[in-house]
Amino acid sequence: MNTSFKKSTLLWLITTLIVFLVAIAFGLTMRMEQAELVKIGPLNFYVLMTSHGLLMAGVWFVAGMAGIQYILSTYFPVPRWGGIIAYACTITGVVILLISTFLTKFHAGWYFLYPLPFYAKVMESGPLLFLVALTILGVGWLIWSLVLIFTILRNFTVTQALAWHHISGRPGPAVSPFILISFVSLIGVTACILAAVVLLILYYLEFLKSGSMSNDPLLMKNLTFFFGHTLVNEMLYLGLAVLYELFPRMAGKPAYKTSWYVGLSWNATLLIVLFAYFHHLYMDFAQPVAFQFAGQIMSWFAPLPAACVTIFSVLTTVYHSNMKWSLASLLYFFGVMFWAIGGVGAILDAVIANNFVLHNTQWVPAHFHTYNLLGNVFFSLAFASWFADEVGNKKIAPGLVKIIFSLLVTGGVGFVLSFYLGGALSVPRRVDSYNEVVNKGVSLAQMAVIFASLYLTGMIIYTFDFTKRCARQLFS
């Protein structure tokens, strides 16, 4: 590995942290509107909701990819141009995205469910700019993903990279869990971005034919959630791939080996995650009933291989270890535990009978904020902390570890708790204000504002410390 990958990873991480702060500020403003602390109006609320959702999904996806690219470059030579194109596309895409939301007021939500983009009260160029932004992001990320797959396939066959020889016990090259999970995740990433490609083509056709063509809402919704749900799951797995590589080192234990059950579980995950998105269409009676059953069953099976094996591995690693608890190892350990809690919330929501009650309540943002804000984000912050300790000019101060970790956990837990309570009290999601029937939503939003502010404070300190320790390396 040459220093260029250190610099490019540093650039990705600094960019990620800055955009994350902006996206938190958007989310905080939305909760302040719901808490009746500020008055921005419904249009600006949905503008913020669209920007917040897309920035969060995008920024933690690229953070996961940056981690994968960095670790992979320590195994094999990785072509640099994939990451460069992805970075250029990400910056361009984000700028156009923010223009489409803040200047042209595009506000159809982060997954722009069909046919909302055509009905939103927005400047005429808004939907087109939004689609262009997504296209640029998609092209960059697809190229990046294919370059990393190409790198793995230059060294292993498909069956080797999927660890089939480890599962069957046949001889073959040792494939680390990092390679296996990265390969599985990158295949999923490619599939979901291709779903977005098909989706965007259909949007463009309808947009350009201005009324003479219409799409089937059922198809569009299937493609939207194939893309959205799968992407969000895969970006978690990207973070886990890096965890499998780094966590045993932090505990002073030997590197994980790919056993048959690790191989089997991640191969199962590859298949299961592609079908689990059906649970987003429970309300769509026109969806074939067989798909609904598949969504229910796959949602139940989804956490078994990846989550159970990972939790088991992490716990056994910590048990009787010489772990020196750093910010990185703390974030990894607690990230896995919060991921499990969020996963239980997700499974409860994915049960058809529960979904009829919980679907439009704050239970939904509760569970996905748990495994994103306290799970996936923690994985990437853990990688960034480890990376800063490796390449920075000095280690993080122990006192700062306690402050940052306390703020992130306290703020994060309190923030998602307000959503869970909202879900239990049937407070609806995706509304900018609450009427008297659900006025408990106001006080819960006020509670959320307090805890989100703690989390934001923790992130500002983290970002400042990270930048202070590493920025010099970027220009060295």
Give the contacts of 352 (CB within 8 A, at least 6 positions apart). Answer: 282, 292, 296
- Other C-beta atoms closer than 10 Å to the C-beta of 373 total 24
Strand partners, 361: 428
Q: Which is nearer to other proteins, 108 or 192 (CB)?
A: 192
Instruction: Give the shortest CB-9-to-other proteins separation in angstroms.
Output: 12
Q: Which is nearer to other proteins, 155 or 267 (CB)?
A: 155
Two tokens, residue 91: 């910056």
C-alpha–C-alpha distance, residues 234 and 187, integer Å: 9
Q: Which is nearer to other proteins, 37 or 255 (CB)?
A: 255
- Kindly give the residue spans of alpha helices, DSSP state H, lying in 123-176: 125-153, 158-161, 164-168
3-state secondary structure of 309: helix
Instruction: Give the shortest CB-204-to-other proteins separation in angstroms.
Output: 13
Instruction: Give the shortest CB-21-to-other proteins separation in angstroms.
Output: 28
Two tokens, residue 391: 């390449």
Strand partners, 428: 361
C-alpha–C-alpha distance, residues 307 and 309, integer Å: 6
Instruction: Give the shortest CB-258-to-other proteins separation in angstroms.
Output: 11
C-alpha–C-alpha distance, residues 88 and 350, integer Å: 37
Q: Tell me the helix, strand and coil percentages in the chain, rounded to 5.
A: 80, 0, 20
Instruction: Give the shortest CB-454-to-other proteins separation in angstroms.
Output: 33
Q: Which is nearer to other proteins, 178 or 339 (CB)?
A: 178
C-alpha–C-alpha distance, residues 345 and 128, integer Å: 36
Instruction: Give the shortest CB-353-to-other proteins separation in angstroms.
Output: 15
3-state secondary structure of 326: coil
End-to-end CA distance of the chain: 17
Q: Which is nearer to other proteins, 171 or 399 (CB)?
A: 171
Report which of 234, 254, 238 is spatially closest to residue 313, judged by C-alpha positions. 254
- Kindly give the residue spans of alpha helices, DSSP state H, lying in 99-124: 116-119
Instruction: Give the shortest CB-138-to-other proteins separation in angstroms.
Output: 12
Q: Which is nearer to other proteins, 219 or 397 (CB)?
A: 219
Q: Which is nearer to other proteins, 37 or 174 (CB)?
A: 174
Q: Which is nearer to other proteins, 60 or 278 (CB)?
A: 278
Under a CB-based contact definition with an 8 Å cutoff, are residues 275 and 294 in contact?
yes
C-alpha–C-alpha distance, residues 436 and 41, integer Å: 18
Report which of 271, 81, 112 is spatially closest to residue 207, judged by C-alpha positions. 112
Instruction: Give the shortest CB-76-to-other proteins separation in angstroms.
Output: 7
C-alpha–C-alpha distance, residues 128 and 123, integer Å: 10
Instruction: Give the shortest CB-416-to-other proteins separation in angstroms.
Output: 31
Q: Which is nearer to other proteins, 217 or 398 (CB)?
A: 217
Q: Which is nearer to other proteins, 77 or 398 (CB)?
A: 77
Burial code (b: 16+ CB inside 10 Å, e: under 16) for 35-59 equals beeeeeeeebbbbbbbbbbbbbbbb
- Kindly give the residue spans of alpha helices, DSSP state H, lying in 251-285: 260-275
Task: State the amino acid at position 285 in one-letter form.
Answer: F
Instruction: Give the shortest CB-277-to-other proteins separation in angstroms.
Output: 10
C-alpha–C-alpha distance, residues 179 and 156, integer Å: 10
Q: Which is nearer to other proteins, 202 or 424 (CB)?
A: 202
| Residues lying near other proteins in the complex (CB under 8 A) | 1, 71, 74-76, 146, 149-150, 153-158, 173-176, 179, 187, 190-192, 194-195, 197-198, 202, 213-219, 222-223, 226, 249, 255, 274, 285-291, 390
Instruction: Give the shortest CB-390-to-other proteins separation in angstroms.
Output: 7
Q: Which is nearer to other proteins, 75 or 110 (CB)?
A: 75
Report which of 405, 302, 418 is spatially closest to residue 370, judged by C-alpha positions. 418
Instruction: Give the shortest CB-77-to-other proteins separation in angstroms.
Output: 9
